[in-house]
Amino acid sequence: MLKTLFLFLAHTASLVGYDAIIFDCDGVLVDTEYLKFLAWQETLAAHGVPFTIEDYKPLVGHSTSKILQLINENKHVSLPSGIVEQKKQTYRQLQVTGVLPIRPMVEFVHALKGFKLALASSAAHEEIRVNLQQIGLQDAFAVIVSGHDDLENYKDPEGTNKPKPYIYIEAAKQLQVLPENCLVFEDTQAGVEAAAGAGMTVIAIPNQLTLNQDFSKAARVIRSPEEFSQDLLLHN
């Protein structure tokens, strides 16, 4: 089934009914989730709060502000909102030293030239720009939507970033396609819930930090980029 799916996607996407394909960025196209953990760990250590990789795993996929809220709840602390900017600055210092592409997915994006492609990331546009430049995909997407910067027209007292569906609704709007005709690749529970909530079909590709998250709303789960790579290479 996977072989058939990716064969259609790479060569005859219209046959499977998708008008557009949308990708998350961190953890799907670039291997940056561990860098984000290190940025959080360093920032929190400066405020006397220990933070381990096990603390971080359930939080992966949420916006920075939501992660701070959850850290305050989980650690029973009251860290100020200014922590968010400190973490971002620390992460950007790590980011500019170089990020690693998730090669099977980057190759897949290149194979989809001519199709409507979008990127929908919780991150700020500047972080997205640096990531895409470093992996050679800066011109690959017709639409790039930042959950941090582009959802000001959506109002929700609980927030508008993932796992809320607004980022994917906005991506479909800018692509001028119906949400139900979009296929999404995500690596986190929050991302899967956002895309599914928008009425899109989602394929989950967990990474080492998100393997134990709940992907029950995904249409399919591919357990490793290597599994994806084998499937794609068999049909090229």
Which pLDDT band holds residue 229 (cuts at 50, 70, 90)? low
Pairwise CA distance, residues 86 & 75, whole Å? 19
pLDDT exceeds 50 at position 13: no
Query: Cα(67)–Cα(69) distance, rounded to whole angstroms?
Result: 5
Strands 117-121, 182-186: pairing kind: unpaired
- Which distant-in-sequence residues (6+ apart) come within 8 Å of 227 by Cβ? 2
Q: Residue with structure tokens 């895409």?
A: 132
Give residue 16's pLDDT. 59
Q: Report the candidate in 108, 105, 124 with the shortest Cα–Cα distance to residue 36.
A: 124
Which pLDDT does position 50 carry in this prediction? Answer: 97
CB 123 within 8 A of CB 146: yes
Q: Which three-class secondary structure state does DSSP give residue 204? A: strand
Residue-level pLDDT at 79: 96
pTM of the predicted protein model: 0.86
The predicted model gives 176-202 an average pLDDT of: 97
Which residues neighbour 115 within 8 Å (Cβ) at sequence distance 6 or greater? 13, 20, 21
User: pLDDT tens, 94-104?
Assistant: 998 889 999 98
Residues 6 or more apart from 123 whose CB is under 8 A from it?
A: 25, 26, 131, 146, 147, 148
How many C-beta atoms lie closer than 10 Å to residue 78's C-beta?
Answer: 6
Going through the chain in order, the beta strands assigned E by DSSP cover 20-23, 30-31, 100-101, 117-121, 143-146, 182-186, 201-204, 220-221
d(CA 7, CA 4) in angstroms, rounded, equals 5
- Looking at residue 114, its pLDDT comes to 78
> Residue 12 — pLDDT band, cuts 50, 70, 90?
very low
Give the model confidence (pLDDT) of 21-44 as tens digits.
Answer: 999 999 999 999 999 999 999 999
Where residue 225 falls among pLDDT bands split at 50, 70, 90? low
The domains of the chain, with CATH numbers, are: 2-32+100-233 (3.40.50.1000), 33-95 (1.10.150)
Query: How does pLDDT run across 82-138, given as a tens digit for each residue?
Result: 999 999 999 999 998 889 999 988 988 998 877 899 999 999 999 999 999 999 999
